[in-house]
């Protein structure tokens, strides 16, 4: 059975690579944005009856990319027996619970929208919260890009390297990365004000980072606040070079420039979000998840 792959506007390159790996029929998209911000999408290509894969990361502009994804799923459902939504970066994944009274658990809303549009399954990459997947209420799969990121870093000549998680919440991720690359890891203690978003590092002195190259591992970088605070702290501990790696590099508001200014040598991310730091391809792990 032939598979169709729709290249959403936010993930055209990744969709193209994925379609080749799956030997699939690539459906291209044509996007027009009206002056009022509305999206008009035209699918270009002939559908084969059977399974269709939509590839569309939902990064800024989040709401536009979300609506486009839903629209394309709805259209694909007209031609397909099954529609799988491949959303490497799923916006709203941090809104997976009611942190403060009155907050909306938007991930539940997303699940209803995807289901109503016609998606039978959602495949994401290194989602910020596993709880969020359960909130979707839809068949879902989370694939890890850690093995691909590790492969990239194996090419580097590092001095007595150490893996670092910028906070306690990322311990499992850093542990997995360290195990894969066969290195030790540590986790910093970070506190964030839920109302202001201000980040502080609680640690005092960490002797084990002295004169060592460090790899800061995270799932995503948005404004870079946590990475900047962690880097500034680690530099004061007399470490050597600091490398940063993540699956999703949003890098909002000159975040890349600010991170480099804090002392980071290089940022390495995947092509879940296209950009200058997207050095690691995740089409292979997505293709495996689909097969």
CA–CA distance, 91 with 29 (Å, rounded to integer): 21
- In the set 75, 190, 229, 240, the catalytic residue is 190
CA–CA distance, 91 with 62 (Å, rounded to integer): 6
Place of tokens 């194996």: 154
Q: Does residue 190 have an active-site annotation?
A: yes
Report CA-CA distances (Å) from 105 to 96, 101, 108, 110: 5, 11, 6, 9
Q: CA geometry: angle at 177 spanning 172 and 179, to 5°? A: 90
- DSSP lists the bridge partners of residue 141 as 123
Positions annotated as catalytic residues are 190
């Amino acid at each position: 059975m032939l598979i169709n792959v729709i290249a959403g506007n936010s993930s055209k390159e990744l969709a193209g690579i994925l379609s080749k790996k799956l030997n699939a029929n690539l459906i291209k998209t044509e996007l027009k944005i009206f002056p009022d911000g509305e999206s008009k999408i035209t699918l270009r290509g002939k559908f084969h009856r059977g399974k269709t894969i939509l590839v569309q990361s939902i990064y800024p502009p989040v709401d536009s990319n979300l609506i486009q994804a839903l629209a394309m799923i709805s259209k694909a459902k007209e031609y397909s027996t099954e529609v799988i939504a491949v959303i490497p970066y799923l916006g709203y994944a941090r809104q997976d619970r009611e942190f403060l009274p009155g907050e909306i658990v938007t991930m539940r809303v997303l699940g209803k929208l995807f289901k109503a549009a016609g998606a039978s399954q959602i495949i994401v990459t290194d989602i910020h919260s596993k709880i969020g997947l359960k909130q979707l209420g839809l068949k879902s799969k989370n694939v890890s890009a850690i093995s691909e990121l590790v492969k990239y870093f194996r090419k580097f000549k590092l001095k007595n390297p150490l893996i670092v998680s910028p906070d306690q919440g990322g311990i499992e991720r850093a542990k997995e990365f360290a195990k894969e690359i066969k290195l030790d890891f540590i986790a910093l203690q970070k506190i964030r004000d839920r109302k202001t978003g201000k980040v502080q590092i609680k640690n005092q002195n960490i002797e084990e980072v002295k004169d060592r190259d460090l790899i800061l591992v995270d799932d995503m970088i948005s404004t870079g606040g946590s990475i900047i605070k962690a880097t500034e702290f680690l530099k004061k501990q007399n470490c050597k070079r600091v490398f940063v790696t993540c699956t999703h590099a949003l890098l909002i508001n000159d975040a890349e420039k600010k991170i480099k200014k804090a002392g980071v040598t290089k940022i390495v991310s995947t092509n879940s979000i296209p950009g200058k730091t997207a050095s690691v391809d995740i089409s292979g792990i997505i293709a495996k998840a689909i097969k």
